[in-house]
Amino acid sequence: MLTPRVLKLSLLRRLGAASAVRAAERPPPCRPRVFPARSNHSRGYSSEGGSKYNRPMRQFAEENEANPQPLIYYVVPSALLVFAGLVTFVHYNDEKRAVTQEAQQTSVPKRCTTNRPAIGGPFKLYDTENNEVTESKLRGNWTLMYFGYTSCPDIGPAEVQKMADVVKLLESKYGTKITPLFITIDPQRDSPAQLKAYLSEFDPRIIGLTGSINAVRQIAQEYRVFFKKVDDIGQDYLVESSHNMYLLDPCLETARCFGAEYEASDLAEAITLEIQKASKSSTN
């Protein structure tokens, strides 16, 4: 028969063996997973890698100092800046000179810059000596212009005589000189010699101009002058036309138009008033 002590030891061994079996059958405890710390450095400041973007900025600057850029990278932009400055300086001086020259041209009336009806334009005709005359040769003087023809039976000679009287009145009474200009509207019959002989009967200072049919038609259209042949029988015909005189300022712009109803004295006075008006506007 077993003693109590032996029974107690036997029971303890059995309990220990059962605990060991249960411990072996249980799964191992879960352990928390530990991740390695991740670096927060930016790519530009990383000390690893061979790219220049992974190098420190100080190292990158040291490399740039060690390997300077070629001289052409600095010379070309500097040359371009200098050239642009010279162009700007020259352009500014040109504009300044242009403004100064315009200010010095006080002899040209300010009315030349005003907007007025577009009457007149460029032309190329010939005088009684077969010399070419263009609008540029008339600039700088006041001009009294009339369109007519030497074969005109009535109104034409009266208007030419009026022009001659006005020229004399302006010089003697007002001390003013103008250029009297007679332009034929019948170039087929009015040759330079015919014009010279005709105008010398009134005043040799009247300048006669003629030209081709197209040239005469062009200047007549520019000055809104109407004319056409009537009773055309060979070389025997009349020319209907408007009998207006045009006062042109030194810029060859039409200052005023005068009809046939003006007398020579009235016309001279009206021309004087226009010249005085232009002189006042140019000095203001």
CATH number of the domain where residue 163 is located? 3.40.30.10
Q: Which of 126, 147, 128 is nearest to 137 (CA)?
A: 126
Q: For the chain, what is the mean pLDDT?
A: 77
What does the pLDDT read at residue 106? 38
As for how many domains the chain has, the answer is 1
What does the pLDDT read at residue 279? 85
Q: Which of 187, 209, 185 is nearest to 199 (CA)?
A: 209
Entry field: residues in the chain: 284
257 known member of a binding site: no
Judged by average pLDDT, the poorest of 52-66, 134-148, 168-182 is 52-66
User: Would residue 45 count as lying in a domain?
Assistant: no
User: Would residue 16 count as lying in a domain?
Assistant: no
User: Would residue 180 count as lying in a domain?
Assistant: yes
User: Would residue 165 count as lying in a domain?
Assistant: yes
Tokens describing residue 194: 């015919």
What is the separation of C-alpha 129 from the centre of its chain, rounded to a whole number of angstroms? 41
Structural domain harbouring 215? 141-282
User: Would residue 125 count as lying in a domain?
Assistant: no
- Please tell me the distance from the alpha carbon of residue 11 to that of residue 3, in angstroms, as a whole number: 13
264-283 and 155-173 helices cross at what angle (nearest 10)?
Answer: 50
User: Would residue 94 count as lying in a domain?
Assistant: no
Q: Is the pLDDT of residue 167 over 60?
A: yes
Start-to-end C-alpha separation, the chain? 155
Confidence band (pLDDT; 50, 70, 90) for 45?
very low
User: Would residue 124 count as lying in a domain?
Assistant: no
Rounded (5°) CA angle 29-33-37: 160
User: Would residue 196 count as lying in a domain?
Assistant: yes
pTM of the model: 0.59
Specify burial of residue 181 (Cβ count, 10 A radius: 0-12, 13-18, 19+): buried
Judged by average pLDDT, the poorest of 23-27, 52-56, 149-153 is 52-56
- pLDDT per position as a tens digit, 61-109: 566 555 555 656 556 677 777 777 776 766 656 555 554 444 444 344 4
- The DSSP secondary-structure symbol of 65 reads H
Q: Is the pLDDT of residue 191 over 50?
A: yes
Which amino acid does the sequence have at 91? H
